[in-house]
Structure 1
Amino acid sequence: MNTRETSYARSIANLIAHQISQGTYATGQKLPSIRDYAKENGCSNNTVINAYDELTAKGLIEPRRGSGYFVTGASRAKAPDEEASSLGRTMDILWQIREQMRNAPDSLHVGASLLPNEWVATAELDKCAKKISHTTRLDTMPRYGTQFGYAPLRHYLARRLASMAIEATPGQIILTHGANGAMDIIITHFVRPGDTVLVDEPGYYPLFGKLKLRGVRIVGVPRLTDGPDVQALEQILRHTKPRLFFTQSLGHNPTASDTSPARARRILHLAEQHDLLIVEDDPFVDLKPDGMARISTLDQLNRTIYIGSFSKTISASLRVGFIACHPDLASELADVKTLIHVSSSEYCERAVEAIVTADSFRRNISRLRNRLESATEHAVKIFSQRGYTVFHEARQSLYLWASIPGFPDSMQLAREMMKQNIVLAPGAIFQVDPQQVSPWARYNVAYVSDPRFLASLPR
């Protein structure tokens, strides 16, 4: 079964599992026949067979010879949200976040989410600190920042978005504590316990943790090499009423895939049909060409909320991100920001503004793009020479999503690597159900050529 068919089967299985937990399918009820389900949803019989097999393995349904598939009595008693506490279900995610934040000198973080310190222009931080001290009245710094954030940085972002053909005034932009702070604001405003939210799968695991803590029912939309699977998305929307769809159009974490223009248009069309709000996370806003397909460019922030940050290009420590949204929504989200955080850090926002408006910033970004492109090409070559499978061979990306022969469960590979103080990001943590075995893992291209990692790889 190919990657797309596997993803589609898993999507069907996740959808039916969600419907069982919601009571759409009751205990003892017969599911549609394989042929009927395939015909109704425009997929192959084999796809439905694999979906039903997965549900059977989880104990949610059971086959009865000559009669079909039926919902088991255990399925309602053991709905995912009822099996353990919300905090308990986030422990694998918390472990991975802690590992990403560790700075142990003897560890090599091949699965890291950030560029190496030496790649980013850390010297610019020293320069901007001096600039701030010369241009800022120190008697204003003990005060809280403004509700929307530092105005000069919001004006810069309005110009930056315009260069990507996204029209937004400074009043439509709210500065946040990084992209994660932006997600917190959006989730708090839109989502209530029991609501359904769509996410890329595989996808951004800290988001999964936030949603689980909120008591949300998460449904994954399979990620293909050119973006979300719109066939699976259409089927999900026919059977559920999700409020939001969180997606990364460009440089997707962890697969490195970019959403194609045709797929972006189709996603937006489905969102309009089903009253779905799209939250587009763009962590690589400065590392990808301005002309690449973004759903927010097509939609102009009517049915999209655009999230960005400076963690990948300046410093994750500054914790500066932003939300760009429809004018009618901006004040509401700014109010939520005030309730959650009171304000964001004006000092950090001033620091970012000083860096991004400096003449050297664009030169640094250009060098960083070239270096990343070279590292991506080299990493793909290393994996290809060893016979490893790369999900998507991007021209330039921070990540590779790859599987290594002999390790059908990348968690086992991660354990083996951990013995050598090499930290991977195994595929299971990027899935809505982290108990699902995955052969895939995320690799940071900046570390793939490290001699310690190369020496540890199975041949």
Structure 2
Amino acid sequence: MTRIDAIIQDIKAKIATVTYTAGTRLPSVRKAAALYDCSPSTVVEAYERLVSAGILYARAGAGFYVAERTVPLSLAEIAPDIEREIDPLWVARQSLETQQHTLRPGCGWLPADWLYLEGVRRGMRTIAKAEDDVLSDYATPLGLPALRQLLARRMHGLGIEANPAQIMLTESGTQALDLLCRFILRAGDTVLVDDPCYFNFYALLRAHRVKVIGVPYTPQGVDTAAFAAMIDTHQPRLYITNAAIHNPTGAILTPSTAYQVLQLAQQANMYIIEDDIFADFEVTPAPRLAALDGLSRVLYMGSFSKTISASLRCGYIAAPNELLEDLLDLKMATGFGGAHLAAHVVMHALMDTGYRKHMSMLHTRLARARTYALAQLAKLGITPWLVPNTGLFLWCQLPDGVDAAKLARDCMAEGMVLAPGNVFSQSTDAHRFMRFNVAQCVDARVFAVLEAVMEKCK
């Protein structure tokens, strides 16, 4: 990339994230030359190209300004300059668009025959015989009362005191996160995320045109010293994290770290979104920020796509009473009635007597898959950052000289989707890391492809 292209891209990113708003005067040519460490003529050329594109306009003797214009949102343009193979949206699309026979150790979900599909089928047969309104009507604003009561009981088991009136159903976990971000954030706000973290957090936050700051993550949870420093420097509005089992590392939040995070958030008057999508994979429940906080500044969310079915789009939010009315208005304005039929199927699956047995068997199956994957990866010199005792993922370091993005690109050519480390890293310093889904690694071909492609990389 030339210096001119780099300047153009930086200015576009600042406009997209509302660092530069319409009418903002850009740095003078001389100041910009010092800022970008280039010649004034390079800056002039970059500015002129942006004027030609209608992004800037010039005032004689006064400088260059951001034009007032409405353009379609391009998430790719908002992103930093990264290889397509480590763009979160690209990885998600590849995982979803590939053929059924494609190897997918980089995807974030269970194979179809590991899900609770028998419970789904029984639920659908029951609902097919239900009253007409179940099959035809919009959902109530908060969503199916019986499912919200069930969720309240499940939360109580984790120490979260939420009554059904504090729980709102959504059409998915992603919609839950999007609604919360719409509710809390304004363009230009700063959001803290774990580094590494679930890659779709980055992708979704792009659409909200906010500044995203990654905070280093440790085996005990977020690095609290770095967390405090980031709060002091950036005055963030929000922190987004996983509850319990962390994605992609598999780490478990400790009580000490949880208390420190809540104390710092309270001092900073900052909200926290706690995503608990992997709750049912736990063997021993870990601390929940929402439980320790009493649902004060922590907004708790989850869904059922990882254990029941990804086809049933049904998520939920538990929030403080004083926020729920406005959240409900936002839900109605953007989604109206919600996924009524899906909520009924999910409720029947969760209440089915076979669900607990299914999860017990799944824990055993994942443990075996984890042991197998660790052994096969070790033969290739791929080492885990930590060895989790539960969950889907292994966060692993590749051997010296092997770049994760290149390995992902070369494996894609061999019909296998991987998830390279920098997909999950805001700082993009995880180029030697890879996330593996152990449930998608039971096919020996995964390691045969890895071995063959890594041999070519040497």
TM-score per shorter chain, which class?
0.7 to 0.9
2:3 maps to: none
Q: Whole-Å Cα distance in 2 between the matches of residues 197 and 253 of structure 1?
A: 18
Deviations 1:293-314 (A, max 9, x none): 2211211211211111101110
Are residues 1:442 and 2:435 paired? Answer: yes
Q: Distance in 1 between matches of 2:76 and 2:416?
A: 27
Match of 1:318, SS state, is: coil
What is the match of residue 170 of structure 1?
A: 164
Contact 2:219 2:386 in 1 (8 A): yes
Q: Is 1:277 aligned to 2:266, yes or no?
A: no
- Corresponding position: 1:108 with 2:103: yes
After superposition, what is the alpha-carbon deviation per residue over 1:138-159, rounded to whole angstroms, capped at 9, x for unaligned? 1453221111111100000000
Q: Which residue of 1 aligns with 2:70?
A: none
Closer/same/farther in 2, CA of residues 60 and 266 from structure 1, 3 Å limit:
farther
Is 1:88 aligned with 2:89?
A: no
| C-alpha distance in 1 between matches for 2:410 and 2:134 | 53
**Is it true that 1:129 corresponds to 2:129 in the alignment?**
no
Q: Distance in 2 between matches of 1:148 and 1:290?
A: 30
Q: Distance in 2 between matches of 1:439 and 1:21?
A: 34
Q: For the residues of structure 1 that align with 2:246 and 2:337, how far apart are their CA atoms?
A: 29
2:376 corresponds, among 382, 395, 399, to 382
Is the CA contact 2:244–2:285 (under 8 Å) kept in the aligned structure 1?
no
Q: Shift of residue 86 of structure 1?
A: 3.7
> Given that residues 308 and 323 in structure 1 are in contact (C-alpha distance below 8 angstroms), is that contact kept between their aligned partners in structure 2?
yes
Does the CA contact (< 8 Å) of 2:134 and 2:341 recur in 1?
Answer: no
The structure with more radius of gyration: 2
Deviation at 1:184, TM superposition (A): 0.8
Q: Is the 8 A contact 2:395 2:434 kept in 1?
A: yes
Q: Which residue of the partner structure matches residue 220 of structure 2?
A: 226
Q: Structure 1 pair 232/336, CA: closer, same or farther in 2 (3 Å)?
A: same
Distance in 2 of aligned mates of 1:352 and 1:448: 28
Match of 2:205 among 192, 200, 211: 211
C-alpha spacing 1:60/1:173, structure 2 compared with 1 (3 Å): farther
The normalised TM-score by structure 2 is 0.80
Aligned mates of 2:133, 2:347 — CA distance in 1 = 20
Match of residue 69 from structure 2: none
Shift of 1:343: 2.2
Alignment match, 1:423 = 417
2:356 aligns with 362
Does the CA-based 8 Å contact 1:198-1:246 persist in structure 2?
yes
**How many angstroms does 1:444 deviate by?**
0.6
SS in structure 2 at match of 1:279: strand
Matched, 1:194 2:176: no
- Any idea what SS the aligned residue of 1:257 has? coil
CA distance in structure 1 between the aligned counterparts of 2:225 and 2:375, rounded to whole angstroms: 32
Task: Tell me how far 1:281 sits from its aligned partner.
Answer: 0.6
Amino acid at match of 2:137: R
Moved more, 344-353 or 384-393: 384-393
- Contact 2:110 2:440 (8 Å CA) reproduced: no
Q: Distance in 2 between matches of 1:272 and 1:247?
A: 16
Q: How large is the Cα RMSD of the aligned pairs?
A: 3.0
Aligned equivalents of 1:85, 1:124: Cα separation in 2: 40
Match of 1:56 in 2: none
Asked if the contact 2:377/2:447 (under 8 Å) is kept, the reply is no
Give 1:367 deviation, angstroms: 1.0
Instruction: Identify unmatched segments of 5+ residues in structure 1.
Output: 1-17, 28-58, 63-72
Identical-residue share of aligned pairs (%): 33
One-letter amino acid matched to 2:382 = Y
Partner of residue 311, structure 1: 305
SS at match of 1:316: coil
Tell me which residue corresponds to 2:56: none
What is the count of residue pairs matched by the alignment?
Answer: 396
Q: 1:440 to 1:21 in 2, by over 3 A?
A: farther
Q: Structure 1 residues 383 and 96, CA, compared in 2 at 3 Å: closer, same or farther?
A: same
* Mean CA deviation greater in 445-454 or 240-249: 445-454
Q: Residue 68 of structure 1 corresponds to which residue in structure 2?
A: none
How much has 1:131 moved relative to structure 2?
0.9
Give the 3-state SS of the residue equivalent to 1:108 in structure 2: coil
Residues 347, 60 of structure 1: alpha-carbon distance in 2 compared, 3 angstrom cutoff: farther
Instruction: Kindly state the Cα deviation for residue 441 of structure 1 after the two structures are TM-superposed.
Output: 1.2
1 CA distance for matches of 2:384 and 2:430? Answer: 18
Provide the residue aligned with 1:392 in structure 2: 386
Decide whether the 8 Å contact of 1:244 with 1:278 is kept in 2.
yes
Q: TM-score, normalised by structure 1?
A: 0.80
SS in structure 2 of the partner of residue 286 of structure 1: helix
Shift in Å, 1:21? 9.2
**Counterpart Cα distance in 2 of 1:179 and 1:192:** 21
Secondary structure at 2:367's aligned position in 1?
Answer: helix
Partner of 1:15: none
Q: What is the rounded CA distance, in whole Å, between the counterparts of 2:238 and 2:143 in structure 1?
A: 25
